[in-house]
Amino acid sequence: YSSSFYIFMVVAVLPFLAKERLICRKEVLNGCYHPITHHFAVSVGSIPNVVILSFIITLILVGMVKLHNPVQFFLILLLALWNAETYAILLSTCVTNYILGIIILAGIFGLAMPLEGFMLVPSMFPSYLRWLYLVPFHTYVFRSFMYNEFAGTSFGEMVLKSYEIEGTNIKQDMVVLLCYSLVIHCVSVAVLMFSSRGRTKKQKDP
């Protein structure tokens, strides 16, 4: 639930990001600031929102269901929402219509749900599609949450083995999530630079 629902709800930020992106395009064409400056500002500005949201969700869930290791749960959730936010930022650079962006982002997150290891464990994938299990960041979030909650007890170990994630290394997966977000940010900057350069060139042409 935590690794899918809260990530999926990040699509709600796309209308605001799309509006900001339209302002960015105008200001870049006017020479007010560089596209990278705007991307950096949007990325850093989203951090407090992600931290506050992750903290509130952690407080509620830990109080309700007595989750194990709440600090680690908070950090995993923080990286999960940060990656989802990064995807939203990337989509806002690729599409001008936020409704189209919501549809695409919802489709990406929806496709990731059956690939993350909850509905289909890794051994259930055809051999030629097994690599898809490692593609969505949801995979690392899901198995980190599961290992954080169930590791250390006999029943928990049985649960982890049934999902084939008994060998999960949470710290390693958190590093993967951090690198995942950085790669998406680099792609976003590249797309933004390419689109801004094209518009600037068109404006200069007589």
Choose among 189, 176, 93, 92: nearest CA to 140. Answer: 176
Mean pLDDT by 10 residues, the chain (206 residues): 81 82 73 78 88 92 85 94 92 84 90 89 89 93 93 90 93 96 92 70 48
Q: Please state the φ and ψ torsions of residue 134, each to the nearest 5 degrees.
A: -95, -5
Q: What is the pLDDT of residue 199?
A: 53
Measured CA to CA, the distance from residue 122 to residue 124 in angstroms comes to 5
Q: What is the pLDDT of residue 198?
A: 53
Q: What is the pLDDT of residue 205?
A: 47
Q: Please state the φ and ψ torsions of residue 97, each to the nearest 5 degrees.
A: -100, 115
Q: Which residues contact 12 (CB under 8 A, 6 or more apart)?
A: none
Measured CA to CA, the distance from residue 1 to residue 92 in angstroms comes to 26
Give 3's DSSP letter.
Answer: T
